[in-house]
Amino acid sequence: MQEHDDITPAAWRLASLLRSHPWRVIAVIASVMLILGTALAGIVNANTSSSDIVVSTDDANQDEGTSRKGGDGDSRAYEDDVENGKAIAVTVDVDGAVVNPNVIELPEGSRVQDAIEACGGLAADADVSGINRASILQDGQKVYVPKVGEAPQTSGSATGTAATGGTLVNINTATVEDLDGLPGVGDATAQAIVDDREANGAFASIEDLMRVSGIGEKKFEKLRDLICV
C-alpha cells in the first residue's frame, strides 16, 4: 500500500506538469530522442568507418602486390606465361667476354644488350666495337663478345650478333635482298634461305646454311668468310 502511495504523487505531478506546461514536456522528450538518435548514428558511422578501413587496407595490399610485380614479379610472371604458352621466348647462347657466359631465355623481341645484361654485363676486357648491341635476338642464336685484341670469329661456331667490319651478312636477320647480294646466291636461293629460317628456326652456326636446298659445300666455301649468325 505504501508503494502505491509513493508512485501516485509522482504520477499526479507528471500529469499536472503535462496539463500546465505541455510544450516543455514535449521539448524535453524531443531533446532526449535527439540525443539518443545522435548517439545511435555515431555508433553506426563508427562501424561503417571500421569496415571501410578494412576494405581499403585490402585494396592497398592488392595494389602493393601489383606494384611489386614490376621487379622480380615481372620475371616470374613471364616465366609462368612461357610455361602456359602465353609468351614466346628465344633461347640464346651468350659467350665470350661477359661476366657469366650462359645459355639463357629471353622474351621474343629482346636485343643483344638484353642478353649481355642477363649474363651479368660485359667483362672488363670486352671489345664491343664489332657488335651491334641493338640488334634483335633470334632463337638459337649465339652471342659472342670478343676480348680486346681478339680476332673476330667468322667461321666455325657462331660469330655473335652482327657483321664485324660492316662486311658480314647475318644469315639469321638478312632479307632476301641482302642475301641476293652474296656471290652465287640468286633470288631463288635467297628466298630458300629465308623460308628455311622461318620454318626451322634460326641457324645455330654458319655451317647450318648447308641445310638449305641449293647450297652445297662448294657454294658454302665461297660464302664462309662473308656471313655470320
* pTM given for the model: 0.38
- Structure-model confidence comparison of residues 94 and 72, the more confident one: 94
| Host domain of residue 214 | 168-229
Is residue 19 a part of any domain in this protein? no
Say what percent of the chain tops pLDDT 70. Answer: 62
Q: How many residues would you count in the chain? A: 229
* pLDDT one-digit tens code per residue, 7-43: 566 666 666 666 666 666 677 777 778 787 777 776 7
Q: What is the CATH number of the domain that holds 122?
A: 3.10.20
Say how far apart CA 135 and CA 118 lie, in whole Å: 16
| Residue recorded with cell 531533446 | 31
Examine the domain organization and report whether 202 and 151 are in the same domain. Answer: no
* pLDDT one-digit tens code per residue, 89-124: 888 899 999 999 999 999 988 999 999 999 999 999
Neighbours of 132 (CB within 10 A): 17
Q: What is the 3-state secondary structure (H, E, C) of 109-175?
A: CCEHHHHHHHCCCECCCECCCCCCCCCECCCCCEEEECECCCCCCCCCCCCCCCCHHHCCEECCCCC
Kindly indicate the confidence band of residue 63, based on its pLDDT and cuts at 50, 70 and 90. Answer: very low
Say how far apart CA 74 and CA 80 lie, in whole Å: 10
Examine the domain organization and report whether 177 and 216 are in the same domain. Answer: yes
Examine the domain organization and report whether 100 and 135 are in the same domain. Answer: yes
Examine the domain organization and report whether 158 and 175 are in the same domain. Answer: no
Examine the domain organization and report whether 124 and 205 are in the same domain. Answer: no
List the grid coordinates of 23.
510544450
pLDDT higher than 50, residue 71: no
